Structure formats: C-alpha cells, structure tokens
Amino acid sequence: MKEVKTPNWLRALDIIIGLTAVVLGIVVLFVPDVAVTTLIFLLYVALLIIGIGRILIGALAKHLPVGIRILSIIAGLILIGLSIAVLAYQYPYFATDLMIAMFAFALLMYGISSITIGGFSKILPNWVRGLFVAEGIFAIIISIVVLVVPDIAILTLVFLLSFALVWNGIIAIVSGVTGKP
C-alpha cells in the first residue's frame, strides 16, 4: 500500500494545534492555585482550537476519504459548539460541574471520532491507526470517569481533562512531524 504524506501546511497546522493543546494542558496541570474558572477558560480555548483544527482538516485535507473528512468536520463543530456554550454560560453563575460535564461530553465525541478514524482509515499505516484508537480510548475513559463519578473534586476533573488535552496535543504533534494524516 502506498503511504500518503500530508501536505506541509496541514502538518504545520497539526503541530500548532498540538503545541497549543499541550501548553494549555500543562498550564492547567501545573498551576493549581489558579482559580477553577480560569482553568475552565483555558480548557475552553484549547477545545475551541482543536475544534477549528478538525474542521480545517475535514474541509481541506483532500487526500483523506470523504467519510473521515465529514466525521472530522462534525467532531469539530461539536467541540466548537460545546466550547462556545460553556463560555457563554460561564458568567456570571453557571454551575462549574455542568461546565465540566459539557467538556467531558466534548471529549467523548472527540474520542469516538478518533477511534472511528483509526479503525476505518485504510490509508493510514497500522501504527498511526493504533495511535488514533489509543487516543480515542483514552479520551473516552477520561470522559466517562468525569461523567460517572461526579463526587470527584472539581479540580481533579479539570486535571483529568487537562491531561487528555496534553495527550491529544502530543498525538497531533506526532501526526504533524511524521507527515502521516
């Protein structure tokens, strides 16, 4: 099977999105004295950027199969919609646990799309498909933990979601650096 290389501009976009997600995730993980609202805002920004990246990849990556491109656009729209909803209702007194649940739902959708891409994209090498599936499983596990165990402290939930952002950012960086779609 002939291996397809991603165009350079798309690789750069993957790297930028990945670095942004990693940096924002690390800020949230290692600055625990920052208010929960600020942590949630940083997560909002990261999910918004990842959503925009998914839409751009779906719209512009002509080398990917149409089904995967459509799935990427849908996942991006869901991420952007949920991120905007959280920002719109964050002030003045929106329940923090509901915002976390919305982020967890966005992460669940992202995980499902990653597993679908890894499972059904025959143009990707097996190791890249495996990364997508692992990323998706990890995202789904974290989102389910956040949704099912609401008694976990809010800060712990934010840390779990931040860790997921770092992981997803690393996957995007690997994709951009290696040139694998």
Residue-level pLDDT, tens digit, the chain, 181 residues: 455 667 788 888 888 888 888 888 888 777 766 656 676 677 778 778 888 888 988 888 887 788 888 988 998 898 888 778 767 765 544 556 666 777 788 888 888 888 988 888 777 788 888 988 998 998 899 888 888 876 675 667 677 777 777 887 888 888 888 876 5
SS (H, E, C) the chain: CCCCCCCHHHHHHHHHHHHHHHHHHHHHHHCCCCCHHHHHHHHHHHHHHHHHHHHHHHHHCCCCCHHHHHHHHHHHHHHHHHHHHHHHHHCCCCCHHHHHHHHHHHHHHHHHHHHHHHHHCCCCCHHHHHHHHHHHHHHHHHHHHHHHCCCCCHHHHHHHHHHHHHHHHHHHHHHHHHCCC
Question: What is the reported pLDDT for 92?
Answer: 46
Whether the model clears a pTM of 0.85, i.e. scores above it, the answer is no
